[in-house]
Copies of this chain bind each other. A is one copy, B any other.
Amino acid sequence: MPGAPTGPDSETGRPALRWRPWPLTYSSAMSDSPASRRPNRAPTGRPQLDSLLDDLRAADAELGERVVDRRPVYDGRYLALEVDRVVRTDGSESVRDVVVHPGAVVVAALDSDRRLLLVTQYRVPSGGAMLELPAGTLDTHDGVVEDPLVAAHRELEEETGYRAGSMERIGGFWSAPGFSTEYLTLYLATDLRPADENRLSPDQDENLRLSRLPWRDAVAAVEGGVIEDAKSVAGILLLGRRLEAVGPRT
């Protein structure tokens, strides 16, 4: 299959290099590009961080890679694979394999005893069960991607059986920006109460176990290598810094 142009250019037989509006929208069943849902690099009001943001904007212009062709290779249940041909500012070309993913949410849910809700799930790619923060992929309906806040409430209830009175965005990151468009939004869920009898259930192909750990023990489990899922490592350590800054309530 590699080398056989399956994109629009296969109609013309011409070399595939063709300029299109930039950034191109990925051709999977999504109305907007994952990058367009990225939070703006808004000024933080902190001079040192804002200077780093200025540097990143300058790097966009200097290092930017313009996508000139996007060839769909596979369209799966919630991820797709596309091969992008890019041209750099110096005119050189390269090829990038891109896993197109609608994005996801990860939820740090703290109960009234400041214990963190964790789920254990078997992961085929890692070949083992893993201890993780509740998380899930954004739903896509008719090409429209779910709002991350809605997804956070949904995933928390599906995976843990709890609803949150408060759901606050406390961060976000790209899971593997070298090859995947997955952006994860991190939420802090508090004011938890059990869902009633109308509880949303896990997806049919999810098999989860719920547990609770005092948040300091969760941080220790990250440092000890017992929690080794990047989104959970990042989420728990970000939460830990936040709770430590607040002071020793627990």
Contact = CB atoms under 8 A, between A and B. Distances in A.
Interface of A: 1-2, 23, 33-36, 38-39, 41, 44, 46, 48-49, 52-53, 55-57, 59-60, 63-65, 67, 73-79, 81, 83-84, 86, 88, 94-99, 101, 120-132, 137, 171-184, 205, 207, 209, 211, 217, 219-226, 228-231, 233-234, 237-238, 241
19 contacts: A41-B226, A46-B224, A48-B217, A55-B131, A60-B128, A63-B129, A65-B122, A67-B124, A74-B97, A98-B124, A99-B99, A99-B179, A125-B177, A173-B228, A173-B230, A176-B180, A222-B238, A233-B237, A237-B241
Nearest to A76: B97
Nearest to A213: B52
A144 to B, nearest CB: 19
Nearest to A205: B94
Contacts of A174: 123, 125-126, 130, 228-230
A65 to B, nearest CB: 5
A53 B230 contact: no
B179 A125 contact: yes
A16 to B, nearest CB: 16
Contact of A125 (B95, B180, B217, B222): B180
Contacts of A74: 1-2, 73-74, 81, 97
A233 B233 CA distance: 9
A230 B232 CA distance: 10
Contact of A64 (B55, B122, B220): B122
Contacts of A35: 125-128
A59 B119 CA distance: 11
A225 B183 CA distance: 13
Contacts of A48: 217, 220
Nearest to A208: B63
Contact of A124 (B1, B84, B237, B238): B84
A76 B177 contact: no
A130 B76 contact: no
Contacts of A224: 44, 46, 49
Which 6 residue pairs spanning A and B have beta carbons closest together? A35-B127, A59-B129, A237-B237, A63-B122, A94-B205, A123-B177
Nearest to A172: B228
A223 B238 contact: yes
